[in-house]
Amino acid sequence: MTPFLSRCYASRGAEQVELIAAALCADRQEYEVRVIDALKAQGYQFYWSDSVLPAASWVKQYPADAAYAVALARSMNEEKRVALGVMTRLPGSGDATEHDKHWLQIEEIGPITPLDAQFGVYPKKTVPDALREALFGQPDPTDAERADFGDDVPPLVTYAVLDAAKMPYLLTSLLEDSGLRHQSLFQGKAQEELAEHAPYLVELIEDNDFTCRLFTGPDGIGGLWERRLGIFLRSRAGFNTVRKHLRKFTKVQDENGKWFYFRFWDVETMRSFKSHLAVSQEQATAFFSLYIRYFIWCHRQDNRFCRISISQPKIGSGQMVLDEALLRRFGFAARARRIIRFQSKVEALINANDPLVAQKMAEQPKARRFYYVRLIDQMGVRNVSIAAALLSAMYLTGVNLLRHPAFEYATRNRLLTPEAKAQQITLGYSVVAQLNTMKHS
C-alpha cells in the first residue's frame, strides 16, 4: 500500500469546501473510492480531485502544502487508511440549514408518474394529480402580494421556460401550433442567430394539448416528459412583466466583469443554483423579486419535483453575480453531467450486447463505475462503441487497464489519438486473454 495525496472538492448542502486528503491504497481508483466513502460518512458529497499522486510526488509538485500533507500521510496506518485534512469553505459558500429555516422554502414533490395514453379516462388529465396543486392551484396571496396588488389580487399564472435547444426546429413549431402565448427570452441579434436554440417563455393553460404533452411520458402519445425541456414558475404578474424580469438573467457577469450566458432554464443548472440561493439572500431576492412566487422543476434521476420560494419577496436591488464558488459548482456539475450522459450511453450498449459483462458491471459500486468512465473520458475518448469495448475488458479482468503498467505503451504514446489508445489497450487485453486460454487448454 502507498500513501496517495490530492486536493479534493466536496459539498454538503450549500456548503462547498476544499481539502487535502490522504489515503493508503494501491492506485488512484482506490484512492477516490476511499475518499468518497470517508466524505460520505461526514455528510459530504465528493465532487472532484486534482492530481492524485503518490505522496512523494505530490509534495514535490505542491511544496507550499508539503509539511501539512506529509503530516496527514503519516497519520495513517493499516486501521486508519484515510485522513481528511481541514475543510476550507469556498468563497460565497455557507451552511444553508439556518437560512432555509427562515426565508428559503424548499419543497420536494413526488416521485411523479407521468401521464400515459389515458385510454378510458374521462375527462383526460393535463398534469399528474400529485402536481396539479403545485402547478395550477390557487394558494392564498402572501402579505407581500396583498401589499403590492391591494384588494384586487390577480390569480397565479403558470409559466414555463422551455429550451428550444433540446428540440431544434421542432419545439418552435409545436409552440406555434399550441395556441399558447410564447416568446423568446432573447431578442435582437441573439434571437436572429439562436432562435432554434433559445429559451422560450410560455404561458401555460391547464386544458391545453401542448400542456398535457409536457407531462406525458413514453407510454402516452406524443409525450415530451423525457425531454426535460425546462422549468416552471408561478406568478401573478403578466406575461410581459415576467419576460422583462427573466431577461435580466439570460446573461450575467462574474466578479471580473466577464459576461456569461446563464442557463437558469436548464433543470441541472437550477439544481446547482438552488444551493447558492440558500446562502445569498440578496441574489435570491433579485432572482425572485416580487414577480415570481415559485420556481418548479423536475430532477432528472428520480422524477421528483422541487419547488422553491422565498418568504419575504420584494423588489430586488442587487445584481446577479457569478462568484467563484458558483462558477466552480457549475463547472463541476457540468463536467459530471457530461460524463454521466456518456456513461449512460456506454452502459446501455453493454447491457444490450453482453449479458456477462452487464452482470459484472452491475456488481460494481456506483462510484467505481463512474470512475472508470471518467478515466476513459479523461483520455479524450468520445466514441461510445470504443469506450464500451474498453470498459468491458476492464470489467472482465477486474483490472483498471488504464492504470496498469503493462499498457503504459498505449496510454503514454502521444502519437496515438484517444480512440487509438483505447483500441490498443483493448486489443492488448484480447491477445493476453487468448494466450492464457491456449495455455490452459
Contacts of 77 (CB under 8 A, 6+ apart): 24
pLDDT band at residue 156, thresholds of 50, 70 and 90?
Answer: very high
- Other CB atoms closer than 10 Å to residue 151's CB: what's the count? 5
Mean pLDDT of the 249-272 span? 84
- 98 and 25 Cβ atoms separated by less than 8 Å: no
Per-residue confidence band for 92, with pLDDT thresholds at 50, 70 and 90: low
pLDDT at residue 231, as a whole number:
96
| pLDDT surpassing 80 at residue 350 | yes
In the predicted structure, residue 95 carries a pLDDT above the cut 60: no
Indicate if the pLDDT at residue 100 is higher than 60.
Answer: no
Least confident of 63-72, 104-113, 276-285: 276-285
In this predicted structure, the answer to whether residue 143 has a pLDDT above a threshold of 90 is: no
Q: Is the pLDDT of residue 63 over 90?
A: no
Q: Rounded to an integer, what distance in angstroms lies between the CA atom of residue 384 and that of residue 347?
A: 9
Q: Is the pLDDT of residue 67 over 60?
A: yes
Model confidence at 330: pLDDT above 50: yes
Q: Is the pLDDT of residue 331 over 70?
A: no
Closest CA to 288 of 242, 349, 347, 351: 242
Query: 92: burial class by Cβ within 10 Å (0-12, 13-18, 19+)?
Result: buried
Q: Please give the C-alpha separations between residue 128 and each of 131, 214, 302, 379, in angstroms, as whole numbers.
A: 6, 11, 15, 43
Q: How far apart are CA 169 and CA 81, in angstroms?
A: 54
When pLDDT is cut at 50, 70 and 90, the band that residue 369 belongs to is: confident
Supply the pLDDT for residue 368: 80
Whether 99 shows a pLDDT value over 50: the answer reads: no
pLDDT, position 405: 72
Q: Would the pLDDT of 82 be above 90?
A: yes
pLDDT winner (highest mean) among 33-47, 83-97, 420-434: 33-47
Return phi, psi of residue 62, to 5°. -125, 70
| Cα Rg of the chain, angstroms | 25
Residues in the chain: 441
Please enumerate in sequence order all residues whose Cβ is within 8 A of that of 299, keeping only pairs 6 or more positions apart, or say none: 267, 271, 305, 306
Question: In terms of pLDDT, which residue wins out, 137 or 400?
Answer: 137
Contact 386, 423 (CB under 8 A): yes
Has residue 252 got a pLDDT over 50? yes
Checking if the pLDDT of 108 tops 90, the result is no
Q: Give me the chain's average pLDDT, please.
A: 84
Q: Which three cell numbers stand for residue 354?
A: 453482453
| Per-residue pLDDT at 319 | 64
2: pLDDT strictly greater than 80? yes
In the chain, what's the furthest Cα-to-Cα distance? 89
Q: What are φ and ψ of residue 92, in 5° steps?
A: 85, -5
Cβ–Cβ contacts within 10 Å for residue 338, how many? 11
Q: Among residues of the chain, what percentage have pLDDT more than 90?
A: 42
Place of cell 440561493: 277
| pLDDT band for position 101 (cuts 50, 70, 90) | very low
Q: Which helix (H) or strand (E) holds 146?
A: helix 143-149
Q: Which residues pair with 24 in a beta bridge?
A: 3
- Averaged over 65-83, what is the pLDDT? 89
Give the pLDDT confidence score for residue 19 in this predicted structure. Answer: 92
Contacts of 393 (CB under 8 A, 6+ apart): 401, 425, 426, 429, 430
The string of DSSP letters for 160-188 reads EEEEGGGSTTTHHHHHHHH---EEES--T
Q: How far apart, in whole angstroms, are the C-alpha atoms of residue 378 and residue 400?
A: 14
pLDDT for residue 294 is more than 50: yes
